[in-house]
Amino acid sequence: MMNDANATDWFSKPGDSIRVVMQRRMMSADQVATRLDGGFQTLRSLLDGSMPIDTEIARSLTEALGASPSFWLKRQENFERAVERAVASISRDEIDEFIRSVPAPGAKPRGKLTDARRSEEVRKRLVYFSVPSTKSWQEHYGRLVGRTDFRSTNAYATKEEAVLLWLRRGELESDLVKTREWNPGNLQDRVETIKQLSLLKLPEQFLPKLRVLLGEAGVALAVVKAPSGCRASGATRLVTPDKAMILMSFRHRSDDQFWFTLFHEIGHLVLHHAQTFVDTDEDGPSDEREDEANSYARSCIVPDERREEFENLTEDRERVLRFSVKAKIAAGLTVGQMQKRDMIGQDKLNYLKRRWSWEQINAVEA
């Protein structure tokens, strides 16, 4: 497990100031993004440090958040100097190893690198992970995969670069989500209401409501498509001392998979102290905490008081629909549980499940 939320040696990016002002003024990401040319994409890039603040952006930030344009430009200038010092402090041998071992968004460098390209590759990694040194990266991320629980050890052994990039993108996305202080009791209190959101057909209908409910319990919901090589379906992580994150990949884009994974991740947060978990839907070795999270998810979909009725279900469509109505869940979740428990074949009643396109999902994640 890894809990680095109390770390204090991050770079102070201009995006950090943007985030602080948003929190102090209780401004949502929507309110700020509408003032920026490029909207959410510009805001994301400012927060992760990949877009520098120029004169035009500085004016927009002044209009949206206050402070003078010169303040924002100076903030960018100071950041650039800090990054230059950080890169210059790393030895040539460390640079080569850092580039080889640390993933970065975008294409991997190929062939022999010039000194200028080496420096740029190191800069890209330090800024993306918001760490000021190779030592800091190792402390906060280098041991992450080795200390993180996967449902599949095969996924852990071969995909750690892709998983790290996915997790980091989730952390950055969680910056856009306004939440109250993390409270597991408040999360548990909202589970029944969250479950009923499965009755809504489209992501544009349930994701905004889900994000609000989770946010009231101090949980930021991030939706990030898993990159190539990452087979994760969901993850949990404490991103700051008072904010937890649930990261969802929508890997199979079906309602039974999405909601079971969501309840599994909620189980980790409620039962396992918001430790870092990365979950795939592949079979792996038995693990007590994974078994507990699975049991929690199953009980969310089929509560104990309805277990006997559920276990007597058959392929009869009408009976499945009636049970789902009484349980206040979408029929696809009932079917998914029947399949998982070998009550029906994997090819039965699949037409009762809802499936979504990436266009439908991305339309919500502006």
| pLDDT band at 142; cut points 50, 70, 90 | confident
Same domain, 86 and 169: no
Range of the domain at 128: 14-147
Q: Please indicate, yes or no, if residue 230 is contained in any of the structural domains.
A: yes
SS3 28: coil
Asked which of 8-12, 79-83, 103-107, 323-327 is least confident by mean pLDDT, the reply is 8-12
Q: Which of 86, 65, 91 is nearest to 12 (CA)?
A: 86
pLDDT digits (tens, 9 = 90+) for 62-95: 999 999 999 999 999 999 999 999 999 888 888 9
Report CA 326 to chain centroid distance, whole Å: 32
Q: Domain tally for the chain?
A: 2
User: What is the predicted pLDDT for the residue at 144?
Assistant: 67
- 216 contact partners, CB below 8 Å, separation of at least 6: 179, 180, 186, 190
User: What is the predicted pLDDT for the residue at 11?
Assistant: 64
Same domain, 66 and 105: yes
Q: Please indicate, yes or no, if residue 5 is contained in any of the structural domains.
A: no
Q: Please indicate, yes or no, if residue 1 is contained in any of the structural domains.
A: no
Same domain, 326 and 245: yes
| pLDDT band at 8; cut points 50, 70, 90 | very low
End of a domain among 147, 177, 196? Answer: 147
Q: Please indicate, yes or no, if residue 9 is contained in any of the structural domains.
A: no
- In three-state form (DSSP H/G/I as H, E/B as E, the rest C), the secondary structure along 312-338 is CCCCCHHHHHHHHHHHCCCHHHHHHHH
Same domain, 102 and 158: no
Q: Please indicate, yes or no, if residue 4 is contained in any of the structural domains.
A: no
Q: Please indicate, yes or no, if residue 7 is contained in any of the structural domains.
A: no
pLDDT digits (tens, 9 = 90+) for 354-364: 999 999 998 88
pLDDT digits (tens, 9 = 90+) for 229-279: 888 999 999 999 999 999 999 999 999 999 999 999 999 999 998 888 888
Does 101 score more than 90 pLDDT? no
Q: Which of 313, 306, 296, 327 is nearest to 195 (CA)?
A: 327
User: What is the predicted pLDDT for the residue at 327?
Assistant: 95
User: What is the predicted pLDDT for the residue at 6?
Assistant: 38
pLDDT digits (tens, 9 = 90+) for 274-327: 888 888 866 556 689 999 999 999 999 999 999 999 999 999 999 999 999 999
Same domain, 171 and 109: no
Same domain, 139 and 272: no
Does 179 score more than 90 pLDDT? yes
